[in-house]
């Protein structure tokens, strides 16, 4: 049975009990509308912990776009059934007022790695992420936390956060889970029309081709301009960024001369998709 907990005091008591009996606790933070990408993190958490907490919280502080927040898919009943079948111990699903009670005044802001890419196109987004993740670590007291490489920059921001604030949690990055046609699984994919859904896998295909060209030594500027044109031809409306960056500090690279990541954000209809792959 997965126990649903909504109050952080009750969660703290539960976790304290586990820890007294020597159990190791893992957490998977999510915004719900769970899919196989999330469940792969849950399975990894199960492998690496005695007790697993999944958090579901659609964090208003990390949405820079009110429409995106309103349209964000929510289905807690279905999510709970999935978590039950994965043997998750606790679903922590607090209300907004539990996370941000009246008088709440703190903001966690990670400089550097949170500034380019998503940070440039979604002002305030990573402050919201860093703040809620710091709070979830405080509330869950977990020893390990599992994050997807799908959100590569977020993973780097979270790593920086726990190192800088001495938060005693180990961050585990897990590979991106894709549909069979290559589209990275995302809660936002359900908002794609049939035609958009059919066009969307081009994003990953074009990323792969560009990564191969870059690996062969081609310059990033020309390669990425050509790839961006292909993304638009494939039916995307706009490309926010398509960039070659160093894997950890996300420094811009002119050539793939060191371990690198190709990262993209693009709009198809009114849905914004992000993806990234190793180069
Ligand atoms: P979200 O609910 O979108 O905030 O995602 C919660 C966690 O699941 C984050 O650590 C994401 O990186 C991860 N995640 C989302 N989609 C995928 C995917 N397709 N493969 C692996 N992890 C994912």
pLDDT tens, residue by residue, 4-36 = 999 999 999 999 999 999 999 999 999 999 999
Q: Do residues 92 and 25 touch, judged by C-beta distance below 8 A?
A: no
Q: Is 124 part of a structural domain of the chain?
A: yes
Q: Is 27 in the pocket of ligand 1 (CB under 6 A)?
A: no
253 is in an annotated binding site: no
Please indicate whether residue 243, judged by its CB atom, sits closer than 6 Å to ligand 1.
Answer: no
The whole domain housing 80 covers: 3-174
Provide mean pLDDT across the span 205-213. 98
- Write out the catalytic residue numbers: 38
Q: Was 34 annotated as part of a binding site?
A: yes
Give residue 8 CA to ligand 1 midpoint distance, Å: 23
- Domain identity same for 205 and 242: yes
How many domains is the chain built from? 2
Q: Which of 246, 279, 240 is nearest to 122 (CA)?
A: 240
- In angstroms, the CA 54 to CA 252 distance is 34
Query: 246-276 pLDDT, tens per residue?
Result: 998 999 999 999 999 999 999 999 999 999 9
Domain presence at residue 106? yes
Q: How far is CA 190 from CA 34, 108, 161, 193, 196, in A?
A: 11, 31, 31, 8, 11
| Ligand 1 nearest atom to the CA of residue 185, by list position | 19
- Candidates 204, 211, 192; CA nearest to 278 is 211
Question: What pTM does this model have?
Answer: 0.98
Whether the Cβ atoms of residue 83 and residue 75 lie closer than 8 Å to each other: no
Instruction: Identify whether 181 is part of a domain.
Output: no
Ligand 1 centroid from CA 149, angstroms: 8
In three-state secondary structure terms, 270 is coil
Ligand 1 site, residue 189, Cβ cutoff 6 A: no
Check if the beta carbon of residue 91 is closer than 8 Å to that of residue 6.
no
* Residue 151 in marked binding region: yes
User: Do the Cβ atoms of 243 and 276 come closer than 8 Å?
Assistant: no
| pLDDT (average), residues 57-63 | 98
Identify whether 32 is part of a domain. yes
């Amino acid at each position: 049975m997965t126990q649903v907990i909504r109050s952080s005091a009750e969660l703290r008591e539960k976790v304290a009990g586990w820890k007294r009996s020597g159990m190791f606790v893992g957490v998977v933070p999510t915004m719900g509308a769970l899919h196989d990408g999330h469940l792969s993190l849950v399975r990894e958490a199960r492998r690496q912990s005695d007790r697993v907490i999944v958090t579901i919280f659609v964090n208003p502080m990390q949405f820079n776009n009110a429409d995106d927040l309103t349209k964000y898919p929510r289905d807690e009943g279905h999510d709970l059934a999935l978590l039950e079948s994965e043997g998750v111990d606790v679903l922590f699903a607090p209300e907004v007022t539990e996370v941000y009670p009246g008088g709440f005044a703190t903001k966690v802001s990670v400089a550097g790695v949170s500034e380019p890419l998503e940070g440039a196109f979604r002002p305030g987004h990573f402050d919201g992420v860093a703040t809620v993740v710091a709070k979830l670590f405080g509330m869950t007291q977990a020893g390990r936390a599992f994050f997807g490489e799908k959100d590569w920059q977020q993973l780097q921001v979270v790593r920086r956060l726990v190192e800088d604030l001495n938060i005693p949690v180990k961050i585990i990055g897990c590979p991106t889970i894709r549909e069979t046609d290559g589209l990275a699984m995302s809660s936002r994919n359900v908002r794609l029309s049939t035609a958009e859904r059919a066009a969307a896998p081009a994003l990953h295909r074009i990323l792969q081709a560009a990564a191969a060209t870059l690996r062969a030594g081609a310059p990033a500027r020309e390669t990425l301009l050509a790839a961006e044109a292909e993304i638009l031809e494939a039916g995307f409306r706009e490309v926010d960024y398509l960039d070659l960056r160093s894997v950890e500090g996300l420094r811009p690279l002119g050539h793939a001369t060191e371990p690198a990541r190709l990262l993209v954000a693009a709009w198809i209809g009114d849905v914004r998709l992000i993806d990234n792959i190793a180069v």
